[in-house]
Structure 1
Amino acid sequence: MKAEGWLFAGMAAFFAVTGLVYGFWAREPAGKAILAVAFLMSGLIALFWFVQYRRRGGGRAQDRKDAEIGEAAGPVGFFPARSGYPALTAVGVTVLALGLVFARWLIAAGALVLAYAVFGFIFQYRDHDGG
């Protein structure tokens, strides 16, 4: 988790420096906003990984310099075989976006489909024991 944190911290630093240089020379706000959002997003992910590392410690083999390759072998976690919720989420976002262009009732319909899909994602494997 520490390596991932440093990776995203490096990305955040890159976007910060690029955003400052771009903001100094550019005269349009769109690029500045995009670089600011990219900095904030990568900074948030870096913060998440550093907090996870601090909570769980360096228990993973990837986080220790003296670890052997064989220590990282074995099951990593639970990965679902298949799910219909990604496609349903895409449909909900598409209908919601079309509603922003064409009609308010499409916004409501897209939001309902999207909410159903998100709740499906969250609770799809609620009874899974993780093993």
Structure 2
Amino acid sequence: MSRSRSHHLDRVVSVANQIAGIEMRPLYATTFTLALILFTSSCLQVTMVAGSAFCSSKCKVRCSKASLQDRCIKFCGLCCEACRCVPSGTYGNKDECPCYRDKYTGEGVRRRPKCP
């Protein structure tokens, strides 16, 4: 966990404990704190995944001729966020981005490329 995220979570716990006060039983305070942490971390994750204009524009080009564009854009975006690159064109050219090329899903007979 990164230092800034850890600091953020510590601060959330501190605020939650202040809100809970002394009157609230420890079980309720703990439950409230955990719920607050889960809520804030899920909001951060959505923001991080949807936040890259670079990946969005590259994946729109990459998936422009795909028959299942929503699925193509989703997996292209995941691969782009991890690799920070997307091969040019609508198909092939994966040698331009080895990380993108080497991502696979499944095992054995079901092993197939993860990135479109």
Structure 1 and Structure 2 fold alike (TM over 0.5) = no
Higher relative contact order (Cα pairs below 8 Å, separated by 6+ residues) = 1
More helix by share: 1
